[in-house]
Structure 1
């Protein structure tokens, strides 16, 4: 069985490190990026099975980045989990066209559950 790949976009290095630690420990391959620049190229080069997208990304924000992925015929099948501490996270995820969302701060088991759900 091929190892499932997760791509996490977040401008917070601590969150990227935490996600890397948790997801590698759970047996996934992970790539992280602190920016959504050239989002389609970044995603195409890795072709992850799942994407976590932070709302507050420098330059291209999470909503625009998610829309770019969802409008790309080669990438739109990849589930995007919207990732934010914003109170309106469900509305933001909806506006972005994300498949699901995860509020920050999150606990490890919630992160693992959402990954399992979208990758099983």
Structure 2
């Protein structure tokens, strides 16, 4: 069964890179540039994994992570939080993130982390 990954990232270039990378690995993608966009897409389908950027226009990825982990429909879904500021690592993991990735990231490294969480 094909695994679906939802990427919340406001930077178009990073969204594109992650999208190409994950499609090449055989994942189905949902891409959002804002929290409101993510919430809208969750009404249609729930992913197998979330990748959340910390700094987005209408929210904070760490807070969104905590909200997802406290929601009965999404609490079991693994979450990877990404940030260019490593000060966000402890806060993200404390909010329930299953993993944390520093930007800029190594392409092979991010694929390995996703595969590990999804036990592909």
What TM-score, normalized by structure 1, do the two folds share? 0.91
Report the 3-state secondary structure (helix = DSSP H, G, I; strand = E; otherwise coil) of the residue aligned with 2:30: strand
**Runs in 1 of length 4+ with deviation above 6 angstroms?**
none
Residue 112 of structure 1 corresponds to which residue in structure 2?
A: 111
Gapped regions of structure 1 (runs ≥ 5): none
* d(CA) in 1 for partners of 2:106, 2:69: 27
Residue 65 of structure 1 corresponds to which residue in structure 2?
A: 64
Residue 13 of structure 1 corresponds to which residue in structure 2?
A: 12
By how many angstroms is 1:74 displaced?
A: 1.0
By how many angstroms is 1:40 displaced?
A: 4.4
Residue 102 of structure 1 corresponds to which residue in structure 2?
A: 101
Task: Check 1:96–1:39 CA distance in 2 against 1; reply closer, same or farther (3 A cut).
Answer: farther
C-alpha contact 1:9 1:53 (8 A) present in aligned 2:
yes
Give the total of aligned pairs.
119
* d(CA) in 1 for partners of 2:64, 2:42: 10
What TM-score, normalized by structure 2, do the two folds share? 0.91
By how many angstroms is 1:59 displaced?
A: 1.4
Gapped regions of structure 2 (runs ≥ 5): none
